[in-house]
Copies of this chain bind each other. A is one copy, B any other.
Amino acid sequence: MQTKIILPEDRIPRQWYNIIPDMPGPLAPVIHPGTMQPVSPDDLLPLFPIGLIEQEVSMQRWIDIPQQVLDIYQLWRPSPVFRAHRLEKVLDTPAKIYYKYEGVSPAGSHKPNSAIPQAYYNKIFGTKRIATETGAGQWGSSISLACQMFGLECTVYMVKVSYNQKPYRKSMMQLWGANVIPSPSNQTHAGRAILAKDPDSNGSLGIAISEAVEDAASRDDTRYALGSVLNHVCLHQTIIGLEAKAQLEMVGDYPDVVIGCHGGGSNFAGIAFPFVADKANGNNVRVVGFEPASCPTLTRGVYAFDYGDTAKMAPVSKMYTLGHDFMPPGIHAGGLRYHGASPLVSQLVDAGIVEAKAVHQLACFEAAVQFSRSEGIIPAPESSHAIRGAIDEALLAKEEGKEKVILFNLSGHGHVDMAAYDDYFAGKLNDYDYPEEAISESLEHLPKVG
């Protein structure tokens, strides 16, 4: 009984897939938060090295992965695809469930797929130091690892609720040599402004981004790095879907539905984009992102121009958003607590090419426990949203009596998140639906563009 599908050496992708030339229309411009005019690549130079700026707007469909990046990718790539035989049996479903497992990286998630190339392009550009933010700590630990490997300094603004809930992730960053600062902090104007209003602020990804952007923009030797949302991050993550597609091909399968959890969009884009590409060629694969009901960007937000951060320092992009001053509750899936979304994913959702669904926290933990007990691997709370989605699809297939092929991305392991499982078993977690009026209110603050 074959459970694991390993990509042979000679089929490992050596290029990332850039979806921009295959988008359903031109990209919306990115707007400068100061001038409210479209940014030029030059405007972005204080924040990013030229290599990444080029990728952000490239119209080239396939982009070579540098050899030094491939050398480090080897530590965990190609990652395995597993057939979830035991879960299928527990669910008594006619569906075949496959999952791509990204938890085998040294940081335990998919994030190093982009952290490594980001550090690489910064290194060759001459950057000495990276400033970044992190939610759950998966991005922060990954960029710390990447900076360590390329000899860059690294400062991470970590959302305070995660800093306190996930001390192990902080320790991983420190072990990999990074300086970790709980956000909001008193190190930046943006942080001090928040603390002045609310000294007990839990923080949010939007605030931490403001702090990191301010830090990077104010120092010549420093550039900013973002672990999700941006086009070049989605580009790097496509290695996930490219591998998965080749792996399913090895066993003669192709998915009817492709599933990822959705926060900023990076792991989702990674598994999804190579399959979205097939839709343009008439393939009717469904591609679905599962987001937390407590931070329902794609399902209850609007598709509009908004700031990427809370302090209005980051560029303004057209994306699904709940408003840049939306403050999500402190749910455990810290990596999914972002008011916005990848502009690329947003455009695809708006065009009806990609679907989005919201799921509740308790149902996600229930799915994670069922998965851990049948498949063995303990998922990160973020990834549990994708498992919930996959299980629901498999149960639907059972109802309909259909032999569906389901592929989902298991973006990380949960070994560092056991406190969240403890809370779940202790009955300390609740479901949360954001009140309509709170969303309406934060949507009133969207910037006026064009």
- On whether the beta carbons of B168 and A106 are closer than 8 Å, the reply is no
CB contacts (< 8 Å) of A415 on chain B: these are: 108, 168, 172, 413, 415-416
| Separation of A167 and B425 alpha carbons in the complex (Å) | 14
Closest approach, in angstroms, between the C-beta of A244 and any C-beta of chain B? Answer: 17
> Known contacts being A6-B6, A104-B104, A149-B376, is A1 close to B71, with CB within 8 Å?
yes
The stretch that binds B, out of A173-181, A285-293, A430-438, is A173-181
CB contacts (< 8 Å) of A6 on chain B: these are: 6, 9
- On whether the beta carbons of B418 and A175 are closer than 8 Å, the reply is yes
Is A249 close to B, CB under 8 A? Answer: no
- On whether the beta carbons of A106 and B378 are closer than 8 Å, the reply is yes
Secondary structure call for the A interface: helix
> Known contacts being A108-B415, A175-B418, A421-B171, is A376 close to B4, with CB within 8 Å?
no
Closest approach, in angstroms, between the C-beta of A409 and any C-beta of chain B? Answer: 17
Is A75 close to B, CB under 8 A? Answer: yes
> Known contacts being A82-B75, A86-B149, A149-B86, is A373 close to B176, with CB within 8 Å?
yes
Interface residues of A, count at CB 8 A? 42
- On whether the beta carbons of A175 and B108 are closer than 8 Å, the reply is no
- On whether the beta carbons of A177 and B104 are closer than 8 Å, the reply is no
Is A207 close to B, CB under 8 A? Answer: no
| Separation of A106 and B86 alpha carbons in the complex (Å) | 15
Most chain B CB within a 10 A radius of its CB, from A71, A74, A172: A74
Encode A1-39 as 1/0 by CB contact (under 8 A) with B.
Answer: 111101011000000000000000000000000000000
**Contact pick for A75, options B4, B171, B419, CB 8 Å:** B4
Is A253 close to B, CB under 8 A? Answer: no
- On whether the beta carbons of A376 and B75 are closer than 8 Å, the reply is yes
Is A69 close to B, CB under 8 A? Answer: no
CB contacts (< 8 Å) of A1 on chain B: these are: 71
**Contact pick for A376, options B106, B378, B418, CB 8 Å:** B106
- On whether the beta carbons of B175 and A74 are closer than 8 Å, the reply is no
| Separation of A86 and B116 alpha carbons in the complex (Å) | 15
Encode A418-450 as 1/0 by CB contact (under 8 A) with B.
Answer: 110110010000000000000000000000000
- On whether the beta carbons of A168 and B418 are closer than 8 Å, the reply is yes
| Separation of A149 and B174 alpha carbons in the complex (Å) | 36
- On whether the beta carbons of A419 and B4 are closer than 8 Å, the reply is no
Closest approach, in angstroms, between the C-beta of A171 and any C-beta of chain B? Answer: 4
Is A148 close to B, CB under 8 A? Answer: yes
Most chain B CB within a 10 A radius of its CB, from A104, A145, A415, A425: A415
| Separation of A373 and B152 alpha carbons in the complex (Å) | 12
Is A164 close to B, CB under 8 A? Answer: no
- On whether the beta carbons of B419 and A171 are closer than 8 Å, the reply is yes
Is A331 close to B, CB under 8 A? Answer: no
- Given contacts A106-B376, A168-B418, could you give 5 more A-B pairs where the C-beta distance is less than 8 Å? A2-B74, A145-B376, A168-B415, A175-B378, A176-B372
Query: What are 22 A-B interface contacts by the 8 Å CB criterion?
Result: A2-B74, A3-B71, A4-B74, A6-B6, A8-B8, A75-B375, A104-B104, A106-B376, A106-B378, A167-B419, A168-B168, A168-B419, A171-B418, A171-B421, A171-B422, A172-B378, A172-B415, A174-B422, A175-B369, A175-B378, A413-B415, A416-B416
